[in-house]
Amino acid sequence: MIILVSIVLLLSITIFFYIRQPKFGRAPSGERLEQLQQSPNYKDGQFRNIRHTPNFSGDQSPAKIFFNFLFKKVPRTRPVDEIPSLKTDLKNLPIHENVLVWFGHSSYFIQLNGKRFLIDPVFSGNASPVPNSNKSFNGTDVYSADDMPEIDYLLITHDHYDHLDYPTIMKLKPKIGHIVCGLGVGAHLEYWKFDPGKITEKDWNESMFISNNITLYTAPARHFSGRSFSRNNTLWLAFILQTKELKLYLGGDGGYDTHFAEIGEKFGGFDLAILENGQYNQAWRAIHLLPEEGLQAAKDLKAKRLFPVHSSKFKLAHHPWDEPLKTITEMNEQGDQIPLVTPRIGEVVYLNDTTQVFSKWWEGIN
Protein backbone atom coordinates (compact mmCIF):
# COMPACT_ATOMS: atom_id res chain seq x y z
CA MET A 1 0.00 0.00 0.00
CA ILE A 2 2.84 2.37 0.88
CA ILE A 3 4.52 1.58 -2.44
CA LEU A 4 1.29 2.27 -4.37
CA VAL A 5 0.72 5.58 -2.58
CA SER A 6 4.33 6.57 -3.24
CA ILE A 7 3.97 5.79 -6.96
CA VAL A 8 0.75 7.80 -7.22
CA LEU A 9 2.30 10.71 -5.33
CA LEU A 10 5.43 10.69 -7.51
CA LEU A 11 3.32 10.55 -10.67
CA SER A 12 1.16 13.44 -9.47
CA ILE A 13 4.21 15.58 -8.69
CA THR A 14 5.73 14.77 -12.09
CA ILE A 15 2.52 15.74 -13.90
CA PHE A 16 2.19 18.92 -11.83
CA PHE A 17 5.61 20.15 -12.86
CA TYR A 18 5.38 18.87 -16.43
CA ILE A 19 2.20 20.80 -17.24
CA ARG A 20 3.81 24.00 -16.00
CA GLN A 21 5.90 24.12 -19.17
CA PRO A 22 5.12 27.04 -21.50
CA LYS A 23 3.68 24.80 -24.24
CA PHE A 24 0.58 24.14 -22.14
CA GLY A 25 -0.29 27.83 -22.31
CA ARG A 26 -2.20 29.83 -19.75
CA ALA A 27 -5.89 30.10 -18.92
CA PRO A 28 -7.68 33.45 -19.41
CA SER A 29 -7.66 35.62 -16.32
CA GLY A 30 -8.17 39.18 -15.15
CA GLU A 31 -9.62 41.64 -17.66
CA ARG A 32 -9.57 39.07 -20.48
CA LEU A 33 -11.65 36.66 -18.40
CA GLU A 34 -14.11 39.38 -17.47
CA GLN A 35 -14.55 40.32 -21.13
CA LEU A 36 -15.10 36.79 -22.43
CA GLN A 37 -17.60 36.14 -19.64
CA GLN A 38 -19.80 38.73 -21.39
CA SER A 39 -20.07 36.53 -24.46
CA PRO A 40 -23.54 35.06 -25.07
CA ASN A 41 -21.73 31.78 -25.78
CA TYR A 42 -20.16 31.66 -22.30
CA LYS A 43 -22.37 30.09 -19.61
CA ASP A 44 -21.76 28.55 -16.21
CA GLY A 45 -18.01 29.06 -16.32
CA GLN A 46 -17.27 27.84 -19.85
CA PHE A 47 -18.03 28.29 -23.52
CA ARG A 48 -20.96 26.27 -24.85
CA ASN A 49 -22.05 25.02 -28.25
CA ILE A 50 -25.32 26.30 -29.71
CA ARG A 51 -27.03 23.02 -28.92
CA HIS A 52 -26.30 20.42 -26.27
CA THR A 53 -23.18 18.50 -27.30
CA PRO A 54 -22.48 15.27 -25.41
CA ASN A 55 -18.92 14.16 -24.81
CA PHE A 56 -19.77 10.76 -26.32
CA SER A 57 -22.49 9.50 -28.66
CA GLY A 58 -23.96 6.01 -29.00
CA ASP A 59 -24.62 3.15 -26.59
CA GLN A 60 -21.10 2.45 -25.33
CA SER A 61 -20.15 3.62 -21.86
CA PRO A 62 -17.37 6.21 -21.50
CA ALA A 63 -15.23 3.51 -19.86
CA LYS A 64 -15.66 1.20 -22.86
CA ILE A 65 -14.90 4.02 -25.30
CA PHE A 66 -11.77 4.96 -23.38
CA PHE A 67 -10.65 1.32 -23.18
CA ASN A 68 -11.08 0.85 -26.94
CA PHE A 69 -9.20 4.06 -27.63
CA LEU A 70 -6.23 2.85 -25.60
CA PHE A 71 -6.14 -0.83 -26.46
CA LYS A 72 -8.21 -1.65 -29.55
CA LYS A 73 -6.10 -2.79 -32.49
CA VAL A 74 -7.09 -1.54 -35.95
CA PRO A 75 -5.00 -2.34 -39.04
CA ARG A 76 -3.36 0.32 -41.21
CA THR A 77 -3.91 3.28 -38.91
CA ARG A 78 -0.47 4.48 -40.01
CA PRO A 79 0.89 4.15 -43.55
CA VAL A 80 3.95 1.99 -44.16
CA ASP A 81 4.88 3.91 -47.31
CA GLU A 82 5.76 7.57 -47.45
CA ILE A 83 2.95 10.02 -48.10
CA PRO A 84 3.63 11.72 -51.46
CA SER A 85 4.28 15.44 -51.37
CA LEU A 86 5.56 18.39 -53.38
CA LYS A 87 7.81 21.21 -52.22
CA THR A 88 6.35 24.44 -53.55
CA ASP A 89 8.45 27.56 -53.02
CA LEU A 90 5.92 29.60 -51.06
CA LYS A 91 8.19 32.61 -50.78
CA ASN A 92 8.24 33.08 -54.55
CA LEU A 93 4.61 32.46 -55.43
CA PRO A 94 3.38 35.40 -57.54
CA ILE A 95 1.66 37.62 -54.99
CA HIS A 96 -1.25 38.36 -57.33
CA GLU A 97 -2.26 34.69 -57.56
CA ASN A 98 -5.07 33.38 -55.33
CA VAL A 99 -3.80 29.98 -54.19
CA LEU A 100 -3.96 27.45 -51.37
CA VAL A 101 -1.25 25.00 -50.29
CA TRP A 102 -2.04 22.19 -47.83
CA PHE A 103 0.54 20.84 -45.34
CA GLY A 104 -1.44 17.80 -44.16
CA HIS A 105 -4.00 17.49 -41.37
CA SER A 106 -5.65 20.93 -40.93
CA SER A 107 -2.67 23.17 -41.74
CA TYR A 108 -2.68 25.22 -44.91
CA PHE A 109 -1.53 28.45 -46.52
CA ILE A 110 -3.79 30.82 -48.45
CA GLN A 111 -2.71 33.69 -50.64
CA LEU A 112 -5.69 35.92 -51.42
CA ASN A 113 -5.75 39.35 -53.06
CA GLY A 114 -2.12 39.93 -52.17
CA LYS A 115 -2.42 38.88 -48.51
CA ARG A 116 -0.93 35.75 -46.99
CA PHE A 117 -2.86 33.68 -44.45
CA LEU A 118 -1.61 30.67 -42.48
CA ILE A 119 -4.18 28.44 -40.78
CA ASP A 120 -3.52 26.13 -37.80
CA PRO A 121 0.13 25.36 -38.67
CA VAL A 122 1.75 22.25 -37.16
CA PHE A 123 5.33 21.74 -38.34
CA SER A 124 6.84 20.10 -35.25
CA GLY A 125 6.11 16.54 -36.40
CA ASN A 126 4.03 15.81 -33.30
CA ALA A 127 0.34 16.32 -32.51
CA SER A 128 0.71 16.03 -28.75
CA PRO A 129 2.44 17.89 -25.90
CA VAL A 130 4.26 14.66 -25.04
CA PRO A 131 7.39 14.29 -27.22
CA ASN A 132 7.24 11.54 -29.88
CA SER A 133 3.82 10.37 -28.68
CA ASN A 134 1.90 11.15 -31.88
CA LYS A 135 4.45 11.46 -34.65
CA SER A 136 3.54 12.57 -38.14
CA PHE A 137 3.44 10.06 -40.99
CA ASN A 138 6.56 9.55 -43.08
CA GLY A 139 6.76 12.06 -45.90
CA THR A 140 4.41 14.65 -44.38
CA ASP A 141 7.05 16.93 -42.85
CA VAL A 142 8.49 18.45 -46.01
CA TYR A 143 7.60 21.96 -44.78
CA SER A 144 8.92 23.82 -41.76
CA ALA A 145 8.56 27.30 -40.33
CA ASP A 146 11.65 28.29 -42.31
CA ASP A 147 9.77 27.62 -45.56
CA MET A 148 7.03 30.11 -44.75
CA PRO A 149 7.05 33.62 -46.21
CA GLU A 150 6.05 36.63 -44.14
CA ILE A 151 2.52 35.90 -42.90
CA ASP A 152 0.02 38.76 -42.82
CA TYR A 153 -2.57 36.85 -40.78
CA LEU A 154 -2.23 33.71 -38.70
CA LEU A 155 -5.68 32.20 -38.12
CA ILE A 156 -6.17 29.77 -35.21
CA THR A 157 -9.50 27.90 -35.10
CA HIS A 158 -9.02 26.53 -31.57
CA ASP A 159 -6.32 25.74 -29.04
CA HIS A 160 -5.96 21.94 -29.33
CA TYR A 161 -2.38 20.78 -29.84
CA ASP A 162 -2.97 19.56 -33.41
CA HIS A 163 -4.09 23.10 -34.35
CA LEU A 164 -2.16 25.40 -32.01
CA ASP A 165 1.33 23.93 -31.91
CA TYR A 166 3.69 25.71 -29.51
CA PRO A 167 7.03 24.82 -31.19
CA THR A 168 5.69 25.87 -34.59
CA ILE A 169 4.19 29.12 -33.35
CA MET A 170 7.40 30.11 -31.61
CA LYS A 171 9.51 29.49 -34.72
CA LEU A 172 7.04 31.46 -36.83
CA LYS A 173 6.91 34.36 -34.40
CA PRO A 174 9.18 36.79 -36.34
CA LYS A 175 7.17 36.23 -39.52
CA ILE A 176 3.66 36.78 -38.16
CA GLY A 177 2.07 40.16 -38.76
CA HIS A 178 -1.24 39.58 -36.96
CA ILE A 179 -3.11 36.74 -35.26
CA VAL A 180 -6.87 36.19 -35.23
CA CYS A 181 -8.28 33.59 -32.84
CA GLY A 182 -11.24 32.80 -30.61
CA LEU A 183 -11.95 34.50 -27.30
CA GLY A 184 -9.47 33.50 -24.62
CA VAL A 185 -6.84 32.02 -26.94
CA GLY A 186 -4.90 35.26 -26.68
CA ALA A 187 -4.00 34.28 -23.11
CA HIS A 188 -1.76 31.52 -24.49
CA LEU A 189 -0.21 33.85 -27.05
CA GLU A 190 0.52 36.64 -24.58
CA TYR A 191 2.04 34.08 -22.20
CA TRP A 192 4.32 33.13 -25.09
CA LYS A 193 5.37 36.81 -25.37
CA PHE A 194 3.47 37.76 -28.51
CA ASP A 195 2.73 41.45 -28.81
CA PRO A 196 -0.87 41.99 -27.55
CA GLY A 197 -1.30 44.63 -30.26
CA LYS A 198 -0.93 41.88 -32.87
CA ILE A 199 -3.66 39.65 -31.40
CA THR A 200 -7.37 39.94 -32.19
CA GLU A 201 -9.75 37.66 -30.29
CA LYS A 202 -13.19 37.13 -31.78
CA ASP A 203 -16.55 35.74 -30.75
CA TRP A 204 -18.82 33.93 -33.20
CA ASN A 205 -20.62 36.00 -35.84
CA GLU A 206 -18.16 38.87 -35.91
CA SER A 207 -16.23 40.45 -38.77
CA MET A 208 -12.92 42.14 -39.44
CA PHE A 209 -11.92 44.23 -42.45
CA ILE A 210 -8.57 43.08 -43.78
CA SER A 211 -7.77 45.13 -46.91
CA ASN A 212 -7.94 44.89 -50.68
CA ASN A 213 -11.65 44.09 -50.42
CA ILE A 214 -11.03 41.16 -48.05
CA THR A 215 -13.34 40.72 -45.06
CA LEU A 216 -12.78 38.04 -42.43
CA TYR A 217 -15.83 36.65 -40.62
CA THR A 218 -16.09 34.26 -37.70
CA ALA A 219 -18.77 31.59 -37.46
CA PRO A 220 -19.95 29.00 -34.91
CA ALA A 221 -18.55 25.48 -34.81
CA ARG A 222 -19.65 22.47 -32.75
CA HIS A 223 -16.54 21.42 -30.91
CA PHE A 224 -14.64 22.07 -27.66
CA SER A 225 -11.30 23.48 -26.51
CA GLY A 226 -8.65 23.12 -23.86
CA ARG A 227 -5.02 22.42 -23.06
CA SER A 228 -3.72 20.45 -20.04
CA PHE A 229 -6.73 19.83 -17.75
CA SER A 230 -8.68 22.95 -18.71
CA ARG A 231 -11.70 22.53 -20.97
CA ASN A 232 -13.82 25.05 -22.86
CA ASN A 233 -12.18 28.10 -21.32
CA THR A 234 -11.37 29.39 -24.81
CA LEU A 235 -13.62 29.63 -27.87
CA TRP A 236 -13.46 27.41 -30.97
CA LEU A 237 -14.68 28.83 -34.28
CA ALA A 238 -14.71 28.72 -38.07
CA PHE A 239 -13.51 31.50 -40.39
CA ILE A 240 -14.89 32.90 -43.62
CA LEU A 241 -12.74 34.85 -46.07
CA GLN A 242 -14.73 36.95 -48.53
CA THR A 243 -13.70 39.10 -51.47
CA LYS A 244 -15.75 40.41 -54.38
CA GLU A 245 -14.83 37.29 -56.36
CA LEU A 246 -14.44 34.52 -53.77
CA LYS A 247 -16.01 33.20 -50.57
CA LEU A 248 -14.02 30.61 -48.63
CA TYR A 249 -15.30 28.68 -45.60
CA LEU A 250 -12.49 27.54 -43.26
CA GLY A 251 -14.21 25.08 -40.98
CA GLY A 252 -11.69 24.03 -38.33
CA ASP A 253 -12.96 21.09 -36.24
CA GLY A 254 -16.57 20.40 -35.35
CA GLY A 255 -19.50 18.02 -35.56
CA TYR A 256 -22.58 18.27 -37.73
CA ASP A 257 -25.51 20.52 -36.76
CA THR A 258 -27.92 23.08 -38.16
CA HIS A 259 -25.32 25.86 -38.16
CA PHE A 260 -23.95 24.78 -41.55
CA ALA A 261 -27.28 25.42 -43.28
CA GLU A 262 -27.70 28.71 -41.42
CA ILE A 263 -24.23 29.87 -42.51
CA GLY A 264 -24.89 28.76 -46.08
CA GLU A 265 -28.11 30.76 -46.13
CA LYS A 266 -26.51 33.81 -44.53
CA PHE A 267 -23.60 34.02 -46.98
CA GLY A 268 -25.41 32.70 -50.05
CA GLY A 269 -23.02 29.81 -50.61
CA PHE A 270 -19.26 29.40 -50.93
CA ASP A 271 -16.78 28.87 -53.72
CA LEU A 272 -14.83 26.47 -51.50
CA ALA A 273 -15.60 24.83 -48.16
CA ILE A 274 -12.72 23.36 -46.14
CA LEU A 275 -14.17 20.80 -43.73
CA GLU A 276 -12.68 18.20 -41.44
CA ASN A 277 -12.77 14.59 -42.65
CA GLY A 278 -10.61 12.33 -40.56
CA GLN A 279 -9.81 11.42 -36.95
CA TYR A 280 -13.48 10.56 -36.43
CA ASN A 281 -15.31 7.91 -34.45
CA GLN A 282 -19.00 7.12 -34.04
CA ALA A 283 -18.59 7.92 -30.35
CA TRP A 284 -17.26 11.41 -31.21
CA ARG A 285 -19.73 12.32 -33.95
CA ALA A 286 -21.12 15.26 -31.95
CA ILE A 287 -17.73 16.99 -32.18
CA HIS A 288 -16.20 15.53 -35.38
CA LEU A 289 -17.72 15.04 -38.83
CA LEU A 290 -18.13 11.58 -40.29
CA PRO A 291 -17.52 11.45 -44.08
CA GLU A 292 -21.22 11.42 -44.96
CA GLU A 293 -21.79 14.36 -42.63
CA GLY A 294 -18.96 16.27 -44.29
CA LEU A 295 -20.68 15.89 -47.65
CA GLN A 296 -23.98 17.01 -46.16
CA ALA A 297 -22.36 19.97 -44.44
CA ALA A 298 -20.85 21.08 -47.76
CA LYS A 299 -24.30 20.91 -49.35
CA ASP A 300 -25.78 22.83 -46.43
CA LEU A 301 -23.12 25.49 -46.94
CA LYS A 302 -24.04 25.61 -50.66
CA ALA A 303 -20.39 25.01 -51.49
CA LYS A 304 -19.29 24.73 -55.10
CA ARG A 305 -16.23 22.69 -54.09
CA LEU A 306 -15.24 20.74 -50.98
CA PHE A 307 -11.74 20.34 -49.59
CA PRO A 308 -11.71 17.53 -46.95
CA VAL A 309 -8.88 17.98 -44.43
CA HIS A 310 -7.91 16.71 -40.94
CA SER A 311 -6.35 13.55 -42.36
CA SER A 312 -3.16 12.03 -43.81
CA LYS A 313 -0.64 13.27 -41.25
CA PHE A 314 -1.45 12.09 -37.70
CA LYS A 315 -3.20 9.11 -36.14
CA LEU A 316 -5.76 10.51 -33.72
CA ALA A 317 -8.50 7.90 -34.22
CA HIS A 318 -8.94 4.19 -34.89
CA HIS A 319 -9.56 4.00 -38.62
CA PRO A 320 -7.25 3.12 -41.52
CA TRP A 321 -5.18 6.16 -42.40
CA ASP A 322 -6.64 6.41 -45.93
CA GLU A 323 -10.25 5.65 -45.00
CA PRO A 324 -11.39 9.30 -44.74
CA LEU A 325 -10.40 10.27 -48.29
CA LYS A 326 -11.37 6.89 -49.75
CA THR A 327 -14.79 6.89 -48.11
CA ILE A 328 -15.78 10.48 -48.82
CA THR A 329 -14.72 10.07 -52.46
CA GLU A 330 -16.75 6.88 -52.90
CA MET A 331 -19.81 8.36 -51.19
CA ASN A 332 -19.54 11.49 -53.30
CA GLU A 333 -19.36 9.46 -56.52
CA GLN A 334 -22.48 7.51 -55.55
CA GLY A 335 -24.58 10.59 -54.76
CA ASP A 336 -25.10 14.14 -55.98
CA GLN A 337 -21.48 14.91 -56.69
CA ILE A 338 -19.71 18.00 -55.44
CA PRO A 339 -16.23 18.60 -56.90
CA LEU A 340 -13.64 17.47 -54.36
CA VAL A 341 -10.35 19.27 -53.88
CA THR A 342 -7.81 16.60 -52.88
CA PRO A 343 -4.28 17.93 -53.42
CA ARG A 344 -1.11 16.24 -52.34
CA ILE A 345 0.76 17.95 -49.54
CA GLY A 346 2.45 20.97 -51.10
CA GLU A 347 0.44 20.93 -54.34
CA VAL A 348 -0.83 24.36 -55.38
CA VAL A 349 -4.62 24.75 -55.47
CA TYR A 350 -5.67 27.62 -57.74
CA LEU A 351 -8.69 29.16 -56.05
CA ASN A 352 -10.02 30.83 -59.18
CA ASP A 353 -9.73 27.70 -61.32
CA THR A 354 -12.81 25.54 -60.79
CA THR A 355 -11.67 23.13 -63.52
CA GLN A 356 -8.47 22.05 -61.74
CA VAL A 357 -8.31 18.25 -61.48
CA PHE A 358 -6.77 16.35 -58.56
CA SER A 359 -5.58 12.75 -58.42
CA LYS A 360 -6.62 10.08 -55.93
CA TRP A 361 -3.06 10.19 -54.63
CA TRP A 362 -3.78 7.90 -51.64
CA GLU A 363 -4.52 4.90 -53.87
CA GLY A 364 -1.79 2.26 -53.91
CA ILE A 365 -0.11 3.50 -50.75
CA ASN A 366 0.21 0.88 -48.02
3-state secondary structure of 275: strand
pLDDT digits (tens, 9 = 90+) for 145-164: 999 999 999 999 999 999 99
Buried b / exposed e along 279-290 (16+ C-beta atoms within 10 A): bbbebbbbbbbb
Task: Give CA–CA dist 166/161, Å, rounded.
Answer: 8
Task: Give CA–CA dist 182/35, Å, rounded.
Answer: 13
Instruction: Give the pLDDT score at 170.
Output: 98
Instruction: Give the pLDDT score at 56.
Output: 79
Instruction: Find the DSSP H helices in the chain.
Output: 2-18, 30-36, 62-71, 166-172, 186-191, 259-267, 291-300, 323-334
Q: Residue 348: name the closest of 174, 129, 43, 109 by CA.
A: 109
Task: Give CA–CA dist 182/165, Å, rounded.
Answer: 15
Which whole number is the average pLDDT over 292-310?
98
Instruction: Give the pLDDT score at 263.
Output: 98
Instruction: Give the pLDDT score at 17.
Output: 59
CATH number assigned to the domain with residue range 74-350, chosen from the 4 options 2.120.10.30, 3.60.15.10, 1.10.150.120, 3.40.190.10 = 3.60.15.10
The answer to whether the beta carbons of residues 222 and 286 sit under 8 Å apart is yes
* Rg, Å, the chain Cα set: 20
Asked if pLDDT for residue 175 goes beyond 90, the answer is yes
DSSP 281-300: -GGGTTTS--HHHHHHHHHH
What residue spans define the domains of the chain? 74-350
pLDDT digits (tens, 9 = 90+) for 253-268: 999 999 999 999 999 9
pLDDT digits (tens, 9 = 90+) for 92-118: 999 999 999 999 999 999 999 999 999
Beta strands 238-242; 214-219: pairing state: antiparallel
Percent with pLDDT over 70 in the chain:
92
Paired with 201 in beta bridges are: 181
pLDDT digits (tens, 9 = 90+) for 8-48: 566 655 555 567 799 999 999 999 999 999 999 999 999 99
